[in-house]
Amino acid sequence: MQRHSSRIELSQSALQNNLDFIRRKAGNDTVISSVVKANAYGHGIQEIVPMAEKCGIRHFAVASSYEAEEVIDARTTDADIMIMGILYPEDLPWVIEQQIEFFVYDYNRLKRVIEVAEKIDEKAHIHLELETGGNRTGLKEDQLDAVIKQIKKHSDQLILEGVCTHYAGIESLSNQSRIQQQLKKFGGMVDYIQSSGINPRLQHTACSAAALAFPETVMDLVRIGTAQYGLWPSPDIYNLHLLEENKVSDNPLQQVLSWKTDIMHLKEVPKGDFIGYGTSYCASRDMQIAVIPVGYGNGYARSLSNRGHVLIRGERAPIVGSVNMNVFMVDVTDIENVQIRDEVVMIGSQEKNAITIKSFTEVSDAINNEFISRLPAAINRKVVS
C-alpha cells in the first residue's frame, strides 16, 4: 500500500481505560452502546469496532444503514447494531433480515416497517424514539395511541427493543431546566406505553455527557461516543466531574487518537519575506521554516493558520502563514538539528509535550467532535498498545 501524507495511531489501552471509567459511572448492569457514527468520530470504524470488542463491547450505534454494514464487516463477535438516523425504505428489507435494531421516530415509518417485515416474514427490531422537547426527531404524545395499537396488532412483525430520547444540549449547564423537563416528559410517555401492556426491553436516554454527570439519566443502556474516545463533552461536564471528585485537576479519560506526519522540506527565509500565500505572515527575523505535507484537504483546519502548533523533536513549533490545501509551514528556527523526515505530531505526545484535540477548539471555532470526524478515511490508521 502506498503511503498517505500522514498517519493515525489508535491506543488500545486508552480505549480500555475510557470504557472502564464509563462502566464505573454507568454501572455494570447498564449496556454500553459504542457510538461509531461518522467513521467512529474520525477514528475509523474498521479499527475501533474490534478494539471496542476487545474491551467487552457488544453493542454499536450508527447513523445509517451504510455505517451498519461497515460495522458488520468490522465486528469479530455477534455484537448488536442500532441505527439511530436515516433509514431509506429501500434498505429496510436488508436491515430487518440482518436483525439490525433501528429507531422509529415517525408513525408512517412504523407502518412501512410493518409492511416490509410482513412481506419478508421477518421480525423488525425497533426502538421507539420519543419527542420530549428536542424538536428534532421523535414520536409525539398524540401519536402514542396509534403506535401502541400497531405494536399490539403486529406483534408477529415487531420486537420492541427499546424506547429512547435524546437530550437537547445536556452538556451545557445552562440547558438543565430544559433537560429536566425532557426527562420528566420521557418518564410520563414511558409510563403511558407500559400502562397499555407493552414493555420495551430497554430504556435509554443518556449520551456521554448525561452518563458522566447526571446519574438520573442512566437507564438500561447508554449511548457513548465522545467519552470513549477520551474527550470530555464540554468544560461544564469536566468541571462537574472535578466537583464530584473534590479535585482541582483530574482527567481519567485518555485520548485514543494520535495524528502524525513528517517534515517534507526545510527552507531558509530572510527577514522581511512573506511566508506562503498572501501576506498574513512576514518573517520578523531570518527564519528556518519546515514544510508539513498536510492541509485543510487532509482535515487540518484552515482556521489554525498563524495560530496552531505542532511538535517536532519534543518542542512546539508554531504555524506561520496560511494552512493550504495540502501543506502548511511551521517555524523551527529555535529547534536544534531539525531534519527532513523528522516526525511531526499534530495530535498526541512527543517527549514531554502534548497537543490535545481539545487544544484545537481553543484556536478555532470547531468543537472536538467536528474536528476529528472530518479526518479523511484515506489516512492509514494503526492500532497500538
Active site residues: 37, 277
Which residue, chain included where needed, has cell 498517519? Answer: 7
- Closest of 378, 371, 383, 321 to residue 346, by C-alpha: 371
| Nine cell digits for residue 255 | 485520548
Exposure class string for 319-358: b at 16+ Cβ within 10 A, else e: bbbbbbeebbbbbbbebeebeeeeebbbbbebeeeebbbb
Q: Is 136 annotated as a binding residue?
A: yes
Which residue, chain included where needed, has cell 435524546? Answer: 166
How many other CB atoms are there within 10 angstroms of residue 73's CB atom? 10
- Closest of 235, 238, 267 to residue 252, by C-alpha: 238
Distance CA 312, CA 262 (A): 9
- The neighbouring-strand residues paired with 127 are 103, 162
Distance CA 368, CA 360 (A): 8
| Separation in Å, CA 294 to CA 133, 161, 249, 308 | 42, 44, 34, 13
Q: Is 84 annotated as a binding residue?
A: no
Which residue, chain included where needed, has cell 436483525? Answer: 99
H helices of 123-251, where? 144-153, 176-195, 208-213, 235-245
| Nine cell digits for residue 264 | 517534507
| Nine cell digits for residue 308 | 496552531
Pairing verdict, β 80-83 and 59-62: parallel
Distance CA 331, CA 309 (A): 9
Residue ranges of the annotated binding site are 136, 325
Residue ranges of the annotated binding site for substrate are 136, 325
